[in-house]
């Protein structure tokens, strides 16, 4: 599809909560695929959608139109049943919906300056978070009901992250992750870790959510690059793989071994680590770092 990007662009792509399936939207409609086999599970050709979020492997989708047709407004969220092919409920907003996240208990809708938390079963609104202008709709979500967190930018001038407890409906912490504004954030599926990258794109940092402390800093590269996405690997016990894609066209894979070598307060336990300044010390964080160069055309998101 990358060879046909001008005539057949991808509007949206995302995995479901356990990565067993993924959704893809183009100008013609959207499709659902099985991640393991690549098998097409469902398709609907009714126009372009900017958001297609799955609820695990169920028949429920949260979809938002791309605005190319009057009936597919980017300000309307539709909860759609793939089994019956009908809309279950619709929610309308004054501004465009930039991101949607959900699990079996919560529905999160991100707008430019507000984030709404709904009960996923009744669609009763539970809380409204006033946020800084979030033009890119940056957010991260951990679907685990035991540690269900939402992360959104907390500043437009620096890389601060607001972490919100979605189940208990209160702010958990604020993390000053970078000096430059955020470009990408991701939470591990179990809610233990959050990874961040700034617009500079050279350093990726990982924080322990429960204590809001830095666990790792990884150098993606020396020259600035736009980080398009971050993703943790799936594991029952811990996430030991962190993947980053960027405008350089390279795919970076870090294997930090979270469960084996957890850090205290973001500093090394060695004598040398205790006396080095953080700007030098952070490049010493151990990680098995693999780079797949020219994984995709440079600049392609």
For residue 22, is it left (φ>0), alpha (ψ between -120 and 50) or beta?
beta
Cα Rg, the chain, nearest whole Å: 19
Cα dihedral 9/10/11/15 (nearest 10) = 180
The pLDDT tens digits along the chain (301 residues) read: 444 444 568 999 999 999 999 999 999 999 999 999 999 999 999 999 999 999 999 999 999 999 988 889 999 999 999 999 999 999 999 999 999 999 999 999 999 999 999 999 999 999 999 999 999 999 999 999 999 999 999 999 999 999 999 999 999 999 999 999 999 999 999 999 999 999 999 999 999 999 999 988 999 888 899 999 999 987 554 457 899 999 999 899 988 765 444 444 444 334 434 444 444 444 446 667 888 888 888 877 7
Q: Which residue has the tokens 């050279």?
A: 202
Helix (H, G, I), strand (E, B) or coil at 152: strand
| Per-residue b or e along 48-85, where b marks 16 or more CB atoms closer than 10 Å to that residue's CB | bbbbbbbbeeeebbbbbbbbeeeebbbebbbbbebeee
Architecture of domain 140-257+280-300: 7 Propeller (2.130)
Q: Which has the closest alpha carbon to 133: 153, 117, 151?
A: 153
Domain boundaries, the chain: 140-257+280-300
Q: What is the DSSP letter of 234?
A: P
80: Cβ contacts below 8 Å, ≥ 6 apart: 60, 61, 62, 63, 86, 87, 88
The encoded tokens of residue 153 equal 């930018």
């Amino acid at each position: 599809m990358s060879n046909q990007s001008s005539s057949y662009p991808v509007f949206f792509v995302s995995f479901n909560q356990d990565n067993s399936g993924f959704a893809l939207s183009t100008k013609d409609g959207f499709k659902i695929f099985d991640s393991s086999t690549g098998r097409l599970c469902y398709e609907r050709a009714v126009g372009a959608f900017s958001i297609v979020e799955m609820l695990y492997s169920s028949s429920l989708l949260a979809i938002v139109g791309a605005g190319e047709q009057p009936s597919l407004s980017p300000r309307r969220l539709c909860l759609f049943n793939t089994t019956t092919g009908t809309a279950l409920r619709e929610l309308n907003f004054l501004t465009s919906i930039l991101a949607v996240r959900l699990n079996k208990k919560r529905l999160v809708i991100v707008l430019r300056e507000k984030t709404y938390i709904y009960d996923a079963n009744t669609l009763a609104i539970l809380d409204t978070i006033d946020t800084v202008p979030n033009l890119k709709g940056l957010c991260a979500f951990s679907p685990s009901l035991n540690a269900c967190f939402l992360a959104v930018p907390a500043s437009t001038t620096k890389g601060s992250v607001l972490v919100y407890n979605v189940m208990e409906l209160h702010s958990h912490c604020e993390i000053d992750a970078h000096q430059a504004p955020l470009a990408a954030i991701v939470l591990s599926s179990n809610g233990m870790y959050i990874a961040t990258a700034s617009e500079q794109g050279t350093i990726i940092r990982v924080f322990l959510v429960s204590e809001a402390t830095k666990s790792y800093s990884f150098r993606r590269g020396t020259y600035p690059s736009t980080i398009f996405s971050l993703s943790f690997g799936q594991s029952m016990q811990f996430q030991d793989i962190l993947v980053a894609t960027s405008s350089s066209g390279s795919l970076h894979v870090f294997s930090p071994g979270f469960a084996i070598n957890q850090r205290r307060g973001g500093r090394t336990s060695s004598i040398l680590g205790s006396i080095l300044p953080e700007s030098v010390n952070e490049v010493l964080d151990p990680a098995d770092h693999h780079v797949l160069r020219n994984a995709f055309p440079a600049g392609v998101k």
